[in-house]
Structure 1
Amino acid sequence: MGFIWALIIGGIIGWLAGLIMGRDLPGGIIGNIIAGFIGAWLGSFLLGSWGPEVGGFFIIPALIGAIILVFIVSFIFRSMKRTA
């Protein structure tokens, strides 16, 4: 049950990051879950483990990391679109 909870929280974090940045991630729900997991890793790497923890994710660093990830991915996709 913990794995399912982690998938749900990761998806919500990725979805919130996309909403905050005003950009959709490729891959829909799966993209949001992946962004949530990678964002949580990136956020805890950059900011450490602090704030409220839900489903194994420290929410504030995970959300900040996911926002950074969405920014980077959208920048890459935008630059690839221009060159094509």
Structure 2
Amino acid sequence: MGLLWGLIIGGLAGWIAGNLMKGQGFGLLGNIAVGLVGGFLGGLVFRLLGLAATGIIGSLVMSVVGAVLLLFIVGKIKGRR
């Protein structure tokens, strides 16, 4: 059941981050991938800042923050403004 929640949260986080950063999502698999990597990145950032995310909503917020950061970094590497 944890894997299913991870995929659902990853998909939602990727979709939200895609809408925030470039105005559209990346498709189902792209959203899940961005959200899962964003969740990992968000977890690292939250730990470095001494923050903790608990529950489904906390995991979603952490994943969205990480996914937005991921998309920002990728955009800078690709040279987009």
TM bin, normalised by shorter chain, reads 0.7 to 0.9
Using the TM superposition, give the Cα deviation of residue 23 of structure 1 relative to its aligned residue in structure 2, in angstroms. Answer: 4.6
Say if 2:42 is the partner of 1:40: no
What is the TM-score with the length of structure 1 in the denominator?
0.70
CA RMSD of aligned residues (A): 2.6
Number of residue pairs aligned between Structure 1 and Structure 2: 77
- Unaligned stretches of 5+ in structure 2? none
- Unaligned stretches of 5+ in structure 1? 80-84
Conservation of the 8 A alpha-carbon contact between 2:42 and 2:67: yes
Using the TM superposition, give the Cα deviation of residue 10 of structure 1 relative to its aligned residue in structure 2, in angstroms. Answer: 0.6
SS in 2 for 1:58: helix
Using the TM superposition, give the Cα deviation of residue 63 of structure 1 relative to its aligned residue in structure 2, in angstroms. Answer: 1.1
- Counterpart code for 1:50: A
Q: Deviations over 1:21-77 (max 9, x none)?
A: 125465x2111101111101101101125234219x722222111001112233444
Q: Which has the larger radius of gyration?
A: 1
| Higher fraction of helix | 2
Determine what percentage of the aligned residue pairs are the same residue.
Answer: 37
- Counterpart code for 2:53: G
